Amino acid sequence: MNTITAAITAVGAYVPDFVLTNKALEAMVDTNDEWITSRTGIKERRILKEEGKGTSFLAIKAAQNLLAKANIDPLEIDLLIMATATPDMPVASTGVYVATEIGATNAFAYDLQAACSSFLFGMSTAAAYIESGRYKKVLLIGADKMSSIVDYTDRSTCIIFGDGAGAVLFEPNYEGLGLQDEYLRSDGIGRDFLKIDAGGSINPTSLETVKENRHNIIQDGKTVFKYAVTNMADSSELILKRNNLTNEDVDWLVPHQANKRIIDATANRMNLEDSKVLMNIEKYGNTTSATLPLVLSDFEHLFKKGDTIILAAFGGGFTWGSIYLKWAYDKK
């Protein structure tokens, strides 16, 4: 029996229509376009403005885009994994709702949360299900409505985050393509540096927590930046060495889109030329769980069957890692 590997066979994406530019932010907080661009690489981000629509709306749109492009019957989906840091609501799984809404009623579904590394960790999980031989089609969606947890009077966070969703389909491959190796790590030391302070079991929602504005994301930017630069670069370099790959062997780097300086540091550690480093951070900002699949979707037209792709991410908690992937198809 041939060895089963887990390959990405289709991608989809969705971003809201509303564009929040750096110029618009200048009227909201003490900042300016030059400062934001020079420090983050972000020029604009998309925001889901419609009342009553949450992360599930973004995820459904991305999934529908994938299913339509690949001409796949949703009833064929065995499993849906929802990577998100901003679920629609506590307890009731966003992924379960998304699966039902797209017609994937033969699939079981659940949410996976590892902050900005959620999609990367989800890739590992989806691949394991495929490699087990029990499942044939696993839909992995990364989606976040970050605007729902951002304080737009806090210039340290509101300039960074945007809303969006991306999706990939994993299927069995017998040519040795797909996910080749992974290096995934976490460290609880990061718990206090990037978080939402209230609304969980330690500090449940109360009048006081609402009045004190403790339900939005906060971060110690300098500390997060330092850990992100070190760990994303280290993990990417390690996965190359472990697989006897050189910079010449790598066709594309798909990095988490949190900060252009972090991406540059990772690429420099890998000794990659700029043309191999894929970025769309200037258009979307940091969409957390959606950054990696949005990059895959935006640059799908460049990928060729057999291309070597390194994906890397870093997120709150802390969580981080890299994945070595062989691309499985040429775009039709």
> Which tens digit of pLDDT belongs to each residue from 77-93?
999 999 999 999 999 99
Q: Are residues 196 and 291 in the same domain?
A: yes
* pLDDT over threshold 80, residue 146: yes
* Residue 202, Cβ density class (10 Å: 0-12 exposed, 13-18 middle, ≥19 buried): exposed
Res. 75 pLDDT band, cuts 50 70 90: very high
Q: Does a structural domain hold residue 74?
A: yes
Please choose, from the candidates 42, 242, 27, 258, the residue with its C-alpha nearest in 3D space to the C-alpha of residue 152: 27
**CATH at residue 240:** 3.40.47.10
The residues, any chain, with a CB within 8 Å of residue 192's CB and separated by 6 or more, are 220
Give residue 248's pLDDT.
Answer: 97
Q: Is the same domain home to 97 and 190?
A: no
Residue labelled with tokens 């996965």: 239
Q: Tell me the pLDDT tens digit for each residue of 156-206.
A: 999 999 999 999 999 999 999 999 999 999 999 999 999 999 999 999 999
State percent of the chain over pLDDT 70.
100
Domain shared by 228 and 153, yes or no: no
pLDDT band at 332 (very low <50, low <70, confident <90, very high): confident
Same structural domain, 221 and 128: no
Is residue 131 a part of any domain in this protein? yes
Q: 20 lies in a domain?
A: yes
Domain endpoint, select from 177, 198, 215: 177
Same domain flag for 113 and 260: no
pLDDT above 70 (res 1)? no
Residue 51 falls inside a structural domain: yes
Could you tell me if 13 and 40 lie in one domain? yes
Structural domain contains residue 48: yes
* 190 shares a domain with 109: no
The domain boundary residue, chosen from 152, 177, 202 = 177
**Cα–Cα distance measured from residue 121 to residue 323, given in angstroms and rounded to the nearest whole number:** 9
Q: Is residue 332 part of a domain?
A: no
Same domain, 134 and 146: yes
Mean of all residue pLDDT scores within the chain: 97
User: What is the predicted pLDDT for the residue at 277?
Assistant: 98
Asked if 110 and 189 sit in the same domain, the reply is no
Dihedral, CA of residue 142, residue 300, residue 328 and residue 274, to nearest 10: -100
Strands 138-145 and 163-173: antiparallel
**pTM assigned to the model:** 0.97
pLDDT tens digit string along 275-320? 999 999 999 999 999 999 999 999 999 999 999 999 999 999 999 9
Q: 140 and 151: one domain?
A: yes
Q: Check whether residue 209 and residue 161 sit in a common domain.
A: no
Domain co-membership, 81 together with 139: yes
284 within some domain:
yes
The C-alpha angle with vertex 284 and arms to 279 and 285, in degrees rounded to 5, equals 85
Tell me the angle at which helices 291-298 and 118-131 cross, rounded to the nearest 10 degrees.
Answer: 80
Catalytic residues: 116, 256, 286
Count of structural domains, the chain: 2
pLDDT digits (tens, 9 = 90+) for 232-273: 999 999 999 999 999 999 999 999 999 999 999 999 999 999
Residue 17 lies in a domain: yes
The residue out of 177, 194, 213 marking a domain boundary is: 177
Q: Which domain holds residue 124?
A: 5-177
